[in-house]
Amino acid sequence: MIIGAKYKICRRLGAGVFEKCQTAKFAANEAATIKPRKMGGRSGGSTFGVQLLEKQKARFSYGISERQFFRYVKEAMEQRGGSSANELVSRLEARLDNVVYRLGLASSRRQARQLVSHGHIIVNDKRITVPSYKAQKGDEISVRKESRQSPFFAGLTERIAVRKLPNWLKASDDQFLASVEADPEIKATDLIFDPAVIIQFYSR
């Protein structure tokens, strides 16, 4: 997925979209340059506009294309016996690049995609190079032994020390090894977007 100027996107969608924008420098710059918005116009907030904004927040946050995102939404809406919104979040969280990011093996989802694409990540003793690979309950995720000295993992100990591991992931004593303990789930308060609003957008 090709992404333009990240700061510009963050100003439109919120700092939570990219890790690069979650810094004191970005916050200070925003505070110094922010201008009062005029009433009406594009900032008025139509229902369509709000729904589109939530979709873009989710898509840019996980770093996936419009086509991929639409596929996830379609699959979530076709799932019976549960909440389409929760199913959408579960499918996004189950992406291998996201799992690698959640485990603290990468400092951003973009870096996590690189790790997977370059063959540094092993799932159940098999090298996986597809970032969208769906991690499932029981999967063991590890870093390829030959890759553990890579510059990618410089500062890994510090990242792991401050990570907030979701309850569906379990880390082992070996910092390069972890497992998926359950289907992915995340609290609504931990999301920067509203999945229910996104489902409404695609249900029009």
In a domain, 185, yes or no: no
Lowest mean pLDDT among 17-26, 85-94, 149-158, 186-195: 17-26
Q: Are residues 120 and 87 in the same domain?
A: no
Residue with tokens 């439109």: 12
Q: Are residues 77 and 107 in the same domain?
A: no
Cβ pair 89, 99 in contact under 8 A: no
What is the rounded CA–CA span in Å between residue 106 and residue 118?
13
Q: Are residues 131 and 194 in the same domain?
A: no
CATH of the domain at 13: 1.10.1050.10
Q: Are residues 15 and 84 in the same domain?
A: yes
CATH of the domain at 141: 3.10.290.10
Lowest mean pLDDT among 45-54, 107-116, 132-141: 45-54
For 47, other C-beta atoms within 10 Å of its C-beta total: 11
End-to-end alpha carbon distance in the chain: 26
Task: Please classify residue 30 by burial: count the beta carbons closer than 10 Å to its beta carbon, then call 0-12 exposed, 13-18 middle and 19+ buried.
Answer: middle
Q: Are residues 13 and 67 in the same domain?
A: yes
In a domain, 1, yes or no: no
Query: Into how many domains does the chain fold?
Result: 2
The average pLDDT across 10-30 equals: 63
DSSP class of residue 79? Answer: -
Residue that wins the pLDDT comparison between 15 and 55: 55
Give me the phi and psi of 127, to 5 degrees please: -70, 130
Task: Please classify residue 120 by burial: count the beta carbons closer than 10 Å to its beta carbon, then call 0-12 exposed, 13-18 middle and 19+ buried.
Answer: buried
Residues 6+ positions from 188 with CB-CB distance below 8 Å: 194, 195
User: With pLDDT > 70 as the criterion, what percentage of the chain qualifies?
Assistant: 79
Q: Are residues 77 and 110 in the same domain?
A: no
Q: Are residues 34 and 83 in the same domain?
A: yes
Strands (DSSP E) contained in 12-139 are 121-123, 126-127
Condensed to tens digits (0 to 9), the pLDDT of residues 58-80 reads 999 999 999 999 999 999 999 98
Q: Are residues 83 and 114 in the same domain?
A: no
In a domain, 31, yes or no: yes
SS3 121: strand
The average pLDDT across 169-195 equals: 93
- pTM assigned to the model: 0.80
Structural domain span for residue 84: 6-91+190-202
In a domain, 53, yes or no: yes
